Structure 1
Amino acid sequence: MDGRKMELGISVTQSTETIVPKRERCLVEKNKLIFSIYRCLGLFPFRWDSSKSLYTVQAVSFAVAYSFWFLWPLIGLGVALYGIKTFNLNENLDQVDDVVETSIFILGFAVAPAITTYSIKQIAKYLPEILDDISNLCELKVGFKTPLHIHMPCRKQKALSSKAEFINSQKFQEHEKTLFYVPLITLFLSIVAFIIAWVNGILEVTEWSTLKSEWPFYILQFFYLTQPAITTWFCVVFIEWMRLVYEALKVEVEYLYHNTLTSLQRTSGPQRDRNIPTAAFSKESVKLTDDYIDKVQEIFVLLIKIIKYVASVNFLVYLISAVFCTLELLKSFRLIMYMIPLAISVGHMALICYASNCLMDEYEHILLILKRTVRLERHHPGLLPYDELHILRENLLELPPQVVVFGGYPLGNGFLIAVHGFILTYAVLANDIMDMQSNIPPLGNVTGNV
């Protein structure tokens, strides 16, 4: 961890001006490129008010962004209708009742966009307070600096507790790189070879008329998936920031725990040195960490109000799109182009599940270290501030940073596997229903009328 060269139990002493030169430079200014992109896309309609020292919503930008993302699916529908008209694809008679057709149209291009666009309102409602709380969080003096840079995609990094561990780890660095990259490269090459062989075989039997009749609906998929994809990445940015904060907490707690063990070993031997501190954990440092966690949990409470709605709506769109694309692939594997929107839907669901899983891994690691620390106190009474550590652990247990969707389903690897099963099951079911309907004879033949 950067800035680890300090004595046990001593907090960082830099002033607030050193850590945060300006309050508005807490997270947004440290990640200008990311938030500039979201500003252009309409998901960050805020400006910094220096007189009030907070972010305020720009009404015009918010209205323009909200209207644009509401009309975006209709633009895709226009492109699809133009494609159908251009290639004269209305060869079959319209067998859908006008009332049903109108209802589906309103549901798909009025109700659904209104529900998905509401995500921008949720972001605009809670994000200014979240950014202000992050600024306040950076001003707290704890044993580390609050992480402000976002590294995408998130990767779990092994926490090094001491300089000795760091030196020893250099010996195995090349070995670990080999174990990581060689299987990854071979898997990548295998997948590329499979895709090339498959696409080459598909192109030999694919007819242009088949692709021509499908591309308007194929394009429409991208118009529908654009806004959910952008808002998913927006949520992942803040989930990754939260993971970095818990990773910094984990490194701090792990460092103190290992130094506590080192101090205990040096003071419990036959040649005891009583000038060495008996514990790295002090009451003051534990209380500072506890206050820091309180602020982090307050931010998460606000953040989850955004993510819970946005992720739930996006998952619903991804599921519908994935079922439709899988159904088209089941009907004919010549429609290989539907693999792209299917990969986008599944990939974004996997992305946010992976980010949530990494966040919980850091959180559970902190709990494990605190559990070991409390056990250490039981074996050596009076060594550590047991009451403060117990309160700290209870505080963490009260509000785990678990991202949930659909009212309470936790996002993670298990949920992603269940989603894959749902997509495949309903695609097969829809395919069977369509086959049954195509085999039903016309009503005139059943009654005997000509």
Structure 2
Amino acid sequence: MSNYSKHNIELLQYLDRHLIYPILDFAQTNEFFPQLEMLQAKFDLLQGTNMPGHCAELYKQIHQTDVAPTAFADKQGVIERQLAELETQSQKVLEVLENPEVASALRQDKAQNLVFLQDSHGITIDQINVLYKLGQFDYNRGNYAGAIDHLYHFRVLSTDQKLVIGATWGKLASEILTANWDDAESELTKLKEQVDADSDDALAQLKNRAWLLHWALFPLLKSSTNKAIELQELFFMPAYLNAMQTSAPHLLRYLTVAVLSTCFGKTNAAIPNRRLKDLVRVLEVETSYTDPITDFARAILVKYDFVKAATMYNDIHLAISADYFLHSLADEIMQSLRLAVAEAYLRLHRTAEIRNMAAIIDTTKEDLVQLVTRDLEHLNVDVDIEDGTIEVMREQSTTLQDLVNKTKALAQRSAHTQSQISRTVR
């Protein structure tokens, strides 16, 4: 099984079938698998939805025919009748809610609102629950905008906490599938609050947190706005870090990228980022999980093996290019990783030959000099082109430097202990 297959299968088991579809679409577009296999995978995925029209089109592509079985049209007819029935059942409550006078009369107290709606307009809990069913039905047939609207109105009124949580999951997925990233992030915050408050079943809560982390990748990584800090804040929360380590260590790839992209270079020099230490602790614990990106981070942050790191760029680029959540950020991520290596190397060695260091970060000598003078000026480096050297002129007090100093101290104590043992043995 390829690294692409393994990583994505681990991801997909935590996603709803509607959220899986764009990932399959990405795999098909990039021809990671044979086209016929991808068409069949899409068809199998959508069989469990109310989207028979789409299934019929996939069927025709798979079987290279212009005619699909009548079963698809029959199912479409059933769906349209069910939809009409739900719309009829929800018509009264929606008309009441769209009345400006009613909207202004509603309060924060949901129980009080239910009494008001019952007494003044004859609206029952069962009628309100129809909004949930309609929102769910809309979602299942791919009408995500309709699902957003109906689940929103349901959630405003309902006191059934289980259904409210379900509505939030559905609304989050719908916001994701319509690329409303700001609203999706807002729903993510609401869902986190609901999951954290629902502590009756610890195992179910752990599973829900693992699912939430996966769904969070959409608004935090697909948005045009850099959300690396927000991703770190969520993933490093003790309860969510535990969920990741217990159920989904493959998510460490995304946490590692987020940390490495915000801890190095002059742009981030003034930002006190404790997350580097946190990441190192996690990398030291999660040694059984292998991934080109996390292995690279261990090489430069834990083992200080820059020679090994220099051999990993191609594998990293392949992994990122095949990752649905990271592929559009490939160039930016690779630049961040090279910057991380350059800064970590200079903090550890203080001086470096330009030729050797260029090889380590997989770039030309000219590009290395430009990177150092442009992005690492906060280190107060002196670049001597004639001698071919780079030197850090003064000590920096940073998280990374603290880690480097501790590593050096441990190495010195280890050498001293070995020397003492050798003398004792003699």
TM-score, length basis structure 1: 0.20
Which has the bigger relative contact order, CA under 8 A and spacing at least 6? 1
Q: TM-score, structure 2 length as denominator?
A: 0.21
